[in-house]
Amino acid sequence: MPTSRNAASRCWLLALLAASGLQSALAQPTTSAPVAAGRPAPARPLSLDDAVQLALTQNRQLSIAREQVSENQYKVAELHARNFPKLSALAVGGYNSHTLDITIPRGAMGVYPATGPIPGADVPVYQGSHTLVTGTVQAVQPLTQLLKIRTGEQVARQDVALARTQVRQAEWQVRQGVEKLYYGLLIAGRQRQQAELSLQAARRQRYDAESARLAGKALPAQVAAAEANVADQEQKLLAVQNQQADYAADLNQLLGQPLDTPLALAPPELAETPALPLAAYLAHADTASLDTRQAAQTRAKAALGVKAARQQYLPDVALTANYLRVQGSLLLPQNSVLVGGILNWTLYDFGERRAVVRQRESQQKQAEANEQHTREQVSAEVQKAYRQLQQAAALTAAAQKAADLRAAELKIKRDALAAGKVLPTEVLSTEATQAKAQADLLAAQLNYRLALTQLQHASGQF
């Protein structure tokens, strides 16, 4: 090789080593926010486990789902309180424009010759008051309603169980969303490094093309093609930067923190977890799957709905005790106590209650059919997730092999560059290719992990 080319290669060796510092950055935490001019914004170190726990603690949607559990628990307490007597008080006061006066009229007892009329004049017995005040204190203890109340309490407890199952579903969705965005942000960081290396290689190729044109060894079209390649690589780098910013904002939103919070993600250790036999997942899914559990809870709630509808035929019977105090009337006793019972029974309603029972029975049949359908669907999902896990394992192995080969190729190119046998442009291109292989490997590992979590969730092992 000519001496001038060896000298040029050595001159570019230092530049290549500086550029290859990007390759070592693959092992460093990925920062989601660019460094601002002047003082860099402090990035928050964040591992995958920390991100998951932060999302489970601060996510708004999860907070709403957990509050729904509390709401249904308070509803159970409300219905349970209806089993006990209810004490109420009522006071009524008013002004009566007409008073109730009692007078014995003159001669009401007869008119006698010796005495004349008896009484001889009108005798007022009672002068009524314009003001009348009554107060009542009543205690009511339900009897037959206790059956309806307990059924309603059982329905409310089923609502609590359903709400808790929905919280588990929401937690899994948040957990999987965090994993997707976390790995997506890591992959975007690798893709950004690849794009930066590709841009450096394109700029070096443009420099070589311009140098060759000045020496009369290249056509202007070759320089234009090199310029176009640089523009293309700049566009790809900008697209990756935008995607990285979107992933960071989405992850911050899922974590329940400001969207512009800078993050420094630590690449997690991705040990491949061996899968169990398919039969083990299917057997566990039949009883532990969240979808199956929710369908069974809905079916139990529908059965209680039928029971409650049939109980509407029962009369409402309750014991009652009343204390009454009256002021402003001498005709009524001032204090009185009444103990007895209350009966309220709808004798005929033109088929309203029968129609409600038929509606609830229809809902019960729908819930039973839905439970059977859900079990079949869960079984199909488990089998599909198991196939996807096997496919992801094969893709991960192929990606690992490609990454190892690209790393070996890069070592050979660097040794050749040190010996002056290749140009720095070739090494930069190989570094970009090796960075792409690393990004593909990380994507394959993410796909395997997501397939495994999907299988565990479908079978109820998550």
- The CATH number covering residue 376 comes to 1.20.1600.10
In a domain, 312, yes or no: yes
Across 405-410, average pLDDT:
92
Distance from C-alpha of 290 to C-alpha of 286, rounded to nearest angstrom: 10
In a domain, 100, yes or no: no
- Sequence-distant (6+) residues with CB within 8 A of 333 are 326
The per-residue pLDDT for 13 is 37
Structural domain for 176, as ranges: 3-30+42-92+131-458
CB 413 within 8 A of CB 405: no
Distance from C-alpha of 444 to C-alpha of 446, rounded to nearest angstrom: 5
Judged by average pLDDT, the poorest of 57-61, 276-280, 326-330 is 326-330
Predicted confidence (pLDDT) at residue 5 exceeds the cutoff of 70: no
Distance from C-alpha of 155 to C-alpha of 163, rounded to nearest angstrom: 12
In a domain, 97, yes or no: no
Name the more confident of 16 and 436: 436
Predicted confidence (pLDDT) at residue 318 exceeds the cutoff of 50: yes
Predicted confidence (pLDDT) at residue 411 exceeds the cutoff of 70: yes
- Sequence-distant (6+) residues with CB within 8 A of 207 are none
In a domain, 36, yes or no: no
The DSSP bridge partners found for residue 134 are 92, 326
pLDDT digits (tens, 9 = 90+) for 153-187: 999 999 999 999 999 999 988 988 898 899 889 88
The per-residue pLDDT for 26 is 35
Give the SS3 label for residue 144: coil
Residue 73: which pLDDT band, with cuts at 50, 70 and 90? very high
Give me the residue label for tokens 């139990």.
300
In a domain, 88, yes or no: yes
Judged by average pLDDT, the poorest of 1-15, 51-65, 244-258 is 1-15
Judged by average pLDDT, the poorest of 89-98, 158-167, 198-207, 451-460 is 89-98
pLDDT digits (tens, 9 = 90+) for 110-136: 778 877 788 778 777 666 667 878 899
Residue 39: which pLDDT band, with cuts at 50, 70 and 90? low
Judged by average pLDDT, the poorest of 94-98, 239-243, 257-261, 366-370 is 94-98
Query: What pTM was computed for the model?
Result: 0.70
The per-residue pLDDT for 25 is 36
Q: What is each CA distance from 386 to 36, 70, 308, 456, in whole angstroms? A: 46, 36, 43, 10
Report the domain count for the chain.
1
pLDDT digits (tens, 9 = 90+) for 291-309: 999 999 999 999 999 999 9
The per-residue pLDDT for 329 is 67
The DSSP bridge partners found for residue 90 are 136
Residue 75: which pLDDT band, with cuts at 50, 70 and 90? very high
Distance from C-alpha of 89 to C-alpha of 138, rounded to nearest angstrom: 6
Residue 107: which pLDDT band, with cuts at 50, 70 and 90? confident
In a domain, 261, yes or no: yes
Average pLDDT, the chain: 84
Residue 40: which pLDDT band, with cuts at 50, 70 and 90? low
In a domain, 414, yes or no: yes
In a domain, 400, yes or no: yes
Across 346-375, average pLDDT:
94
pLDDT digits (tens, 9 = 90+) for 251-278: 999 888 888 888 888 877 766 677 888 9
